Amino acid sequence: MFTIGCHLSIAKGFAAAARDAGSIGANTFQFFTRNPRGGKAKPLDDDDLRSFATVREQFGIHRILAHAPYTLNPSSAKPETREFALQTLADDLDRMERIMPGQLYNMHPGAHVGQGAQAAVEMIADALNAVLSPGQTTTLLLETMAGKGSEVGRTFEEVAAIIERVELSDHVGVCLDTCHVWDGGYDIVSDLDGVIDQFDSVIGLDRLRAVHLNDSKNPRAAHKDRHEKLGEGLIGFDALAAVVNHPALEALPFYLETPHDDLAGYAGEIERLKKARVEQRE
């Protein structure tokens, strides 16, 4: 089964977001748990969550991915920023258990802001050790980053170093962003097999739980992180079609985070990917 969707707004509630997903041919979606720049999350509405469950059944949505705010930085030099990260993570993970148990929650690992990657890796792992609990059903994903500024998680080694330090690491996985790994220097265009082998030997493919499917406005190793519409960037449509068809990745959920002003843009990309997925199969 092809699990494909995109980033959607939950401003009108979860049921409305699931309807939006269904209307564009998606069977999964990603959403921000709260304003991406931080702040308080809207209280959960039990009526909305009940109709969310109904709409999910209607459209065959069995997987959702939450995204933490960008401002979350558990490896900040400032104690108040680290405290905000801890509170937000704990609150979001609680909410996920109510929104839909057994799902995925993705975060950008952090930025070391001059303290060095090693110190940051330890601080991020400390934060995860503080917020993960054995009874939790949500899997927390660390996203692979482009390496913009002092971002941690550009290399598979950094991501692995965080996971190694997490006690309840059964609750931790990885979300691979195609734009980010490309901008980070991994050649998914000419050597997708090699990149996947590297991921497997450094992190382990069993950790990989989701893919962000984006083209990039920039050349490989640019360390920029500017997403582009599929086929309009320097990764190109064929390389992204190869990602959704790769035997090691095909069972994962794929999420578009491409720059579109309306749902029609996503609908077109989903349609095109579904065709690419079938054509390469036959």
Binding to Fe ion in span 170-199, by CB under 5 A: 177
User: Letter for the amino acid at 224?
Assistant: K
- Interface stretch with Fe ion, choices 147-155, 184-192, 206-214, 233-241 (CB under 5 A): 206-214
- Under rule CB under 5 A, residue 225 binds Zn ion: yes
Residue 212 interacts with which of Fe ion, Zn ion, none, CB < 5 to 8 Å by class:
Fe ion
212 is catalytic: yes
Q: How many residues bind Fe ion (CB under 5 A)?
A: 3
Active site residue 261: no
Q: What are phi and psi of 193, to 5 degrees?
A: -60, -45
Out of 20, 215, 227, 228, which one is annotated catalytic? 227
Which residue in the list 56, 105, 112, 143 is annotated as catalytic? 143
The separation between CA 98 and the C-alpha centre of its own chain, rounded to angstroms, equals 20
Based on CB atoms, which residue is closest to Zn ion, 18 or 213? 213
Which one from 20, 151, 257, 269 is the annotated catalytic residue?
257
Residue number with CB closer to Fe ion (151 or 177): 177
Q: Is residue 154 part of the contact set for Fe ion (CB under 5 A)? A: no
Collapsing DSSP to helix, strand or coil, 255 comes out as strand
Structure tokens at 225: 């992180």
- For the bound state, the minimum distance from the C-beta of residue 212 to Fe ion, rounded and expressed in Å, comes to 4
Whether 260 sits among the annotated catalytic residues: the reply is no
CB of 177 to Fe ion, least distance (A): 4
Signed CA dihedral, 235, 236, 237, 238: sign only: negative
| Cβ neighbour number for residue 84 with a 10 Å cutoff | 19
Task: Please state, in angstroms and as integers, the Cα–Cα distance from residue 102 to each residue in 89, 138, 163, 197, 257, following that order.
Answer: 16, 5, 20, 28, 23
Question: Residue 107 CB, nearest distance to Fe ion (Å)?
Answer: 8
Q: Is 266 left (phi over 0), alpha (psi -120 to 50) or beta?
A: alpha
177 is a catalytic site residue: yes
Residue 212 binds to Fe ion (criterion: CB under 5 A): yes
What are residue 95's phi and psi, to 5 degrees?
Answer: -65, -40
List the catalytic residue out of 20, 177, 228, 269. 177
Name the burial class of residue 178, with classes exposed (0-12), middle (13-18) and buried (19+) by CB atoms within 10 angstroms of its CB. Answer: buried
> Shortest gap between Cβ of 174 and Fe ion (angstroms)?
12
Instruction: Considering only CA atoms, give the Rg of the chain.
Output: 18
Is 143 in the active site?
A: yes
Residue 257 is among the residues annotated as catalytic for this protein = yes
**Cα 37 from Cα 39, distance rounded (Å):** 7
The nearer residue to Zn ion, 20 or 225, going by C-beta atoms, is 225
The dihedral sign for the CA sequence 181, 187, 189, 192: negative
Q: Can you tell me which residue has the tokens 């490989």?
A: 220
Q: Which stretch binds Zn ion (CB under 5 A): 6-14, 59-67, 192-200, 223-231?
A: 223-231
Give the DSSP H or E segment for 91: helix 79-99
- CB nearer to Zn ion: give 62 or 148: 148
Is 67 a catalytic site residue?
yes
Active site residues: 37, 67, 70, 108, 143, 177, 180, 212, 225, 227, 257
- Interface positions with Fe ion (CB under 5 A): 143, 177, 212
- Contact residues toward Zn ion (CB under 5 A) are 225
